[in-house]
Structure 1
Amino acid sequence: MQGNNYIPPLTPRSRLERLLRERELRKSSRYTQSTEDGRDGNKESEQLSDSFLSENEAEDVAETGAADDRPRKQRLLVVANRLPVSAVREGVDSYHLEISVGGLVSVKEFDTRWIGWAGVNVPDEVGQKALTKALAEMRCIPVFLDEDIVNEYYNGYCNNILWPLFHYLGLPQEDRLATTRSFQTQFDAYKKANQMFADVVNKHYQDGDVVWCHDYHLMFLPRCLKEYNDKMKVGWFLHTPFPSSEIHRTLPSRSYLLRSVLAADLVGFHTYDYARHFVSACTRILGIEGTPEGVEDQGKLTRVAAFPIGIDSERFIRALALPEVQNHLKELKERFAGRKVMLGVDRLDMIKGIPQKILAFEKFLEENAHWRDKVVLLQIAVPTRTDVSEYQKLTSQVHEIVGRINGRFGTLTAVPIHHLVSVINIQLWF
């Protein structure tokens, strides 16, 4: 632990260090003025030195806000459909929390609160209080959705309508008309669920907080939040592609969702192309003006930009040095000695093309018989949306294809495809 003579680095690496540096410069300026007035510079210097926080003390102050004149971290409310943890009920008033497969897991530089669904139905008040208390230790705040809402909002509108459309798969034929009963029911549930998220955010919001909404599950949320408080700082980020305006135009609720997203102050996408598609949809469908900075509607500017994200590469590099990882690498090298290994790691999703990849590998083996004993495809598939019928069909299809190819080209000692269904943490880092 450093002593009280801690001085922030010349090049601040974080918001906290920048604030400490600015504070140092202000006090240094007062010190210079004092020496010019003939005061005791040494005494002033000692007081200035003693006034600096140690690095750990500064972090503690930023977390607790113990002193009003000390720098604090910006409070950030991250709102996503799922929390970074999943809850498993173990009794009337007890829950076990596990890290979720996928999701948002790391936001640094901020005093963060997570708001979302914990993946479990909790109809009773005792259970809700117990879960809220358990999640509070991890700075998570639950939104309680019942089974009907989850089925219509998440499995229905989100995964049956928006997800395929945003990935250019188009709408199911029966959902193309706004008068379709199932579509209307799902869309009503979608709006209701977004309003429930907004109610929880508004309950925990404090002046100065930044609210960060995530993904296609919560496109209606920015409008709900701004209706509560038009001064609230709201951002929305999409974790999927945003389709061209011609594709988005096929969605019956297209205008409603676009205007809801435009209520945010900042809208973010993975790539410039997705951002361009969004602006194009706003101009062509809503008839409003696009600008180099975003979209302007009746004097209100919504900034639109691309913010590429990735993984925590340093974490993987550190993992390579672990003894258990080294031992596993040694086992794999011995197991596949003399063979080329083709590795695939994908979520078991319709858009990932896993069946097509496996069938292409079969075609390769058909046309290159001399490679059959020299190459192996190691496909790791992470299950997702296991309660959706289309994904259950996909899982069965992949298993059938793998079994047929291994039966055709495999031997008593080796098979060409190793298909592993593994629940691993595929995580997004910011």
Structure 2
Amino acid sequence: MGRVVVVSNRLADPRKPAAGGLAVALGETLNATGGLWFGWSGKIVEASEGGTPGEGELHLQQAGNVKLATVDLSRDDHDSYYLGYSNRVLWPVFHYRLDLADFNTSHLAGYRRVNQLFARKLMPLLRSDDVIWVHDYHLIPLAAELRAMGCANRIGFFLHIPLPPPLMLAALPGHEWLIRALFAYDLVGLQSEADTMHFARYVQAEAGAEELGNDHYRAFNRTVRVSAFPIGIDVDEFSRLAEGKEARETYETMREQYSRRRLLIGIDRLDYSKGLPQRIRAFQELLASYPENHRSATLIQIASPTRESVDAYADIRHELEHLCGQINGDYGELDWMPVRYIHRTVARKRLPGLCRVGRVALVTPLRDGMNLVAKEYIAAQDPADPGVLVLSRFAGAAEQLREALLVNPYDVQGTAQAIQQALQMPLEERQARHSKLLERIRLHDVHWWRRAFLDALAQTPT
């Protein structure tokens, strides 16, 4: 295999551990091949005095053996490509929330324009034997733009978010163009088998695609392989974080402060896909139906800020604050607050300590491509006395983590019953479930994911 070129909306310096397991895993391959990582710089260039936007200045820097190449965006391009089509159209539709999608035609124009800009800036940097790996929903049409410029390289794409069913995809204006663009890739990786089934049903029904076997489909005079590559975490890296000073401090402080309580934890971005109001209502139902948890169970819910300029996020924040205040008002005592709601980001180095102290983790999204918090919780547990994972059946992780307590987050009463089961679960059962879950996340970790995808891309005929 030649040099690996990774393309994503944002990029990180793979030398920095704070970048997280994904950046480190990609960095290993980029370092080994002297690779290139290309994406948006994060910088927005305002219009000049004459009103002309500054277009895409390219910045190059070296990070060890890896070249980082970033492009600036104008305000108009950022607002239509990133805030507009990516996050106000694709994100809600792909997470089954058609009611929140803003089908503004100018968003699509900006999305296409930025993908063309990225292709123009990337093309001169490519070598003939480069292998290109494009990431996520922001850049679905990038391969088609590169092909139009004469790029004959092997190109793979990985979608980190879920792919919705055919009828939901068909609600997207221009959905035919978007899915046709996927056929410009040699390999498309999805998070789950459910996602691959959705793709197959869509292209056969809407594009008359021919299924060739072995995950290959032919349409638009192109053949593409579409397979599931469930992403994992770097278990060893997260375990090392758990032994760090910050994680141990967090664990010891929380254990001391909540020595009389059983802690339930939720760690999420404040996003409507995460099912946070439904989760809080399930905890409320737990307190109402199982009063033995009064003064005993405490839910610590971290909801990190995200996309706060979008109205839907302000709405969910207000709803959460209202629900948490209502529960604390109805059930709280002078020495017990049932819900601790924190609208801040917790430092990554402290997360393993928070995960480890939780007797139960509530990972209950309404829809999620994978959800790595579920896997991080498993990795952080003490095998001798592990906690219990309560997991939404609508997270991609549910296909792998079958020993978790799987729930329907829309079923508030059923979720409350599962939480009660988790709180009452005997040690022997907790150990058996955790052992199997830990074995599975070790087998299919982020390094397996990277190797499996790149090996499949290398073997896929162009």
**Is the TM value for this pair above 0.5?**
yes
Contact 2:191-2:229 within 8 A present in 1 as well: yes
Q: 1:366 to 1:344 in 2, by over 3 A?
A: same
Matches within 5 A, 1:395-410: 395-410=317-332
Deviation at 1:354, TM superposition (A): 0.8
Alignment partner, residue 321 of structure 1: 243
Deviation at 1:228, TM superposition (A): 1.6
**Residue 415 (structure 1) aligned with residue 342 (structure 2):** no
Deviation at 1:321, TM superposition (A): 2.4
Q: 1:254 to 1:161 in 2, by over 3 A?
A: same
| Secondary structure of residue in 2 paired with 1:422 | coil
| Secondary structure of residue in 1 paired with 2:314 | helix
Deviation at 1:158, TM superposition (A): 1.3
Taking the aligned partners of 2:99 and 2:319, their CA distance within structure 1 comes to 22
Alignment partner, residue 59 of structure 1: none
| Secondary structure of residue in 2 paired with 1:143 | strand
Taking the aligned partners of 2:216 and 2:56, their CA distance within structure 1 comes to 42
Alignment partner, residue 209 of structure 1: 130
Alignment partner, residue 168 of structure 1: 96
Aligned with residue 274 of structure 1, among 195, 215, 227 = 195
**Residue 132 (structure 1) aligned with residue 59 (structure 2):** yes
| Secondary structure of residue in 1 paired with 2:36 | strand
Amino acid at match of 1:122: V
Deviation at 1:409, TM superposition (A): 2.0
Alignment partner, residue 120 of structure 1: 43
Taking the aligned partners of 1:290 and 1:235, their CA distance within structure 2 comes to 19
Taking the aligned partners of 2:101 and 2:90, their CA distance within structure 1 comes to 14
CA deviations on 1:352-405 (whole Å, 9 max, x unpaired) are 001110111112212333311000001122222233222122223222322232
Q: 1:98 to 1:325 in 2, by over 3 A?
A: closer
**Residue 143 (structure 1) aligned with residue 64 (structure 2):** no
**Residue 106 (structure 1) aligned with residue 25 (structure 2):** yes
Matches within 5 A, 1:168-317: 168-172=96-100, 175=103, 183-292=104-213, 293-297=215-219, 300-317=222-239
**Residue 393 (structure 1) aligned with residue 315 (structure 2):** yes
Q: 1:338 to 1:139 in 2, by over 3 A?
A: same
Deviation at 1:225, TM superposition (A): 0.9
Q: 1:302 to 1:194 in 2, by over 3 A?
A: same
Moved more, 165-174 or 195-204: 165-174
Taking the aligned partners of 1:147 and 1:129, their CA distance within structure 2 comes to 11
Taking the aligned partners of 2:62 and 2:47, their CA distance within structure 1 comes to 17
**Residue 153 (structure 1) aligned with residue 81 (structure 2):** yes
Taking the aligned partners of 1:366 and 1:257, their CA distance within structure 2 comes to 47
Larger Rg: 1
Alignment partner, residue 7 of structure 2: 79
| Secondary structure of residue in 2 paired with 1:121 | strand
For structure 2, the 5+ residue unaligned runs are 49-53, 349-371, 374-444, 451-462
Taking the aligned partners of 1:248 and 1:339, their CA distance within structure 2 comes to 45
Taking the aligned partners of 1:102 and 1:171, their CA distance within structure 2 comes to 34
CA deviations on 1:278-324 (whole Å, 9 max, x unpaired) are 12211111112122232113653211111111111111212222344
Taking the aligned partners of 1:187 and 1:391, their CA distance within structure 2 comes to 22
Aligned residue-pair number? 340
Q: Which has the higher contact order (CA 8 A, sep 6+)?
A: 2
For structure 1, the 5+ residue unaligned runs are 1-72, 86-96, 176-182
Deviation at 1:128, TM superposition (A): 9.9
Alignment partner, residue 340 of structure 1: 262
Taking the aligned partners of 1:168 and 1:365, their CA distance within structure 2 comes to 30
Moved more, 325-334 or 261-270: 325-334
| Secondary structure of residue in 1 paired with 2:72 | coil
| Secondary structure of residue in 1 paired with 2:59 | helix
Q: 1:414 to 1:346 in 2, by over 3 A?
A: same
Calculate the aligned-residue CA RMSD, in Å: 3.0
Q: 1:285 to 1:166 in 2, by over 3 A?
A: same
Q: Given the two structures, how large is their TM-score scaled by the length of structure 2?
A: 0.67
Amino acid at match of 2:38: I
CA deviations on 1:327-362 (whole Å, 9 max, x unpaired) are 332221111112111111112110100111011111
CA deviations on 1:128-176 (whole Å, 9 max, x unpaired) are 999925676773211211111111121111111111111111255873x
Taking the aligned partners of 1:103 and 1:193, their CA distance within structure 2 comes to 24
Amino acid at match of 1:203: P
Alignment partner, residue 400 of structure 2: none
| Secondary structure of residue in 1 paired with 2:117 | helix
Contact 1:161-1:171 within 8 A present in 2 as well: no
Taking the aligned partners of 1:154 and 1:282, their CA distance within structure 2 comes to 26
Contact 1:236-1:267 within 8 A present in 2 as well: yes
Taking the aligned partners of 2:138 and 2:233, their CA distance within structure 1 comes to 22
Q: 1:134 to 1:298 in 2, by over 3 A?
A: closer
Alignment partner, residue 366 of structure 1: 288
* Sequence identity percentage: 32
Q: 1:225 to 1:331 in 2, by over 3 A?
A: same
Taking the aligned partners of 1:298 and 1:128, their CA distance within structure 2 comes to 32
Taking the aligned partners of 2:133 and 2:292, their CA distance within structure 1 comes to 54
Alignment partner, residue 384 of structure 1: 306
| Secondary structure of residue in 2 paired with 1:403 | helix
Aligned with residue 330 of structure 1, among 234, 252, 268 = 252
Alignment partner, residue 12 of structure 1: none
Amino acid at match of 2:198: H
Amino acid at match of 2:29: E
